[in-house]
Amino acid sequence: MPLLNHTRYPDFRVDEGEVVSVLGAPGSGKSRLALELAFLERPSSGDVLFHGSNPLAKRGAFKKAKRPHEVTVLVQNAEDQLFARTVFDDVAFGPRRLRLDAGEVEERVVVALATVRLDPEDVRSRSPFALSGGEKRRVALAGVLAMRPEVLILDEPTANLDPQTRNEFLDLLEPLRGTGAVVWLTSSAREATAAGRTYLLRDTGLEVVPAGTTVFHNWRDLERAGIELPGIYDLALALDHRGMSLPTTDSPTELKEAIIRQWRELHHDR
């Protein structure tokens, strides 16, 4: 039984401890899907199931359905939702709502901050609003990690970050492996390569595509779907339009090598 699945998309599933990526162009509905998977929005059709059941199903006339705190989401530009006077209080907000004792809250905050590579002693008493943009987003991520979720949903977690900070944030995925299942929704094919299972979201639905670096195998289809690709694919597309027959490759590096090889062969023949 999947840990999390959406009945509107029969092929979509999230298993315990795995990293799943959902690729989608801007405006494709990724944020809506993220909220549905986090039980913050009711699906327009189908149901989201957690451990095989729908937590939002009506449970009786006098008992309101509750979303499971075991599923958390980091929304786009999550740093905009920071609100507390100190970093510690911001990260501790969720655990405190679980009515954990002070010692457990302290331990969760310290571990969460360390996981996102922030020094707990250095930042705990600082205002989150005095941090850099990348640090703010790390604090926001620490806040959801402190909930110890079974499923962590990341909605475009690197959006609007500069290239260096974006790469630093991508490096955080490795420490997240094994702490729970991760669903990474992104418009970037490069970001999707870290996932063990990858889906493409578009008007026709949610479909399985190759995972890992082999996601680039069907790069022409990804380009038509509006997915962000490494710069080498802009060149490949231009060469495609000029009639160069490029082989099918499974990575940007292989494609670059194929372009260089064909270019040399073409000029050698001349």
pLDDT tens digits along 131-149: 999 999 999 999 999 999 9
Query: Is residue 270 predicted with pLDDT exceeding 60?
Result: no
Banded model confidence at residue 240, pLDDT cuts 50, 70, 90: confident
* Locus of tokens 């189908």: 46
* d(C-alpha 90, C-alpha 109), whole Å: 9
CATH class in words for 1-70+149-211: alpha beta
Written as one letter, the residue type at 70 is E
**Mean pLDDT on 206-226:** 93
Mean pLDDT computed over 229-239: 91
Q: What is the pLDDT of residue 63?
A: 59
Burial track 108-135 (b if 16+ CB lie within 10 A, e otherwise): bbbebbebbebebeebbebebeebeebb
Q: What is the pTM of this model?
A: 0.90
Task: Tell me the pairing of strands 205-209 and 197-202.
Answer: antiparallel
Residue 48: pLDDT band by 50, 70, 90 thresholds? very high
Per-residue confidence (pLDDT) for residue 241, from 0 to 100: 84
- Residue 268's pLDDT is 66
Q: For residues 89 and 109, is the Cβ–Cβ distance under 8 A?
A: no
What percent of the chain clears pLDDT 70, i.e. is strictly above it?
96
Give me the pLDDT at residue 43, please: 93
**H helical segments located in the chain:** 30-37, 87-97, 102-115, 120-123, 133-145, 163-170, 173-176, 189-192, 219-224, 232-241, 252-269
Six-digit token string for 80: 């905009």
Give residue 54's pLDDT: 94
pLDDT at 169 over 80: yes
- What pLDDT does residue 57 have? 85
- The domain locations on the chain are 1-70+149-211, 80-148
| Residue 107 scores a pLDDT above 70 | yes
| 55-93 tens-digit pLDDT | 988 665 555 668 899 999 999 999 999 999 999 999 999
Residue 155's SS3 state is strand
Model pLDDT, residue 42: 92
Q: 135-139, 183-187, 227-231, 252-256: which range is least confident on average?
A: 252-256
Q: What pLDDT, on a 0 to 100 scale, did the predictor assign at position 61?
A: 52
Contact between residue 50 and residue 17 where contact means Cβ atoms under 8 Å apart: no
For residue 82 the two structure tokens come to 């920071």
Residue range 97-114: mean pLDDT, rounded: 96
Q: How far is CA 187 from CA 42, 66, 236, 257, 261, in A?
A: 23, 31, 19, 25, 30
Does 251 have pLDDT greater than 70? yes
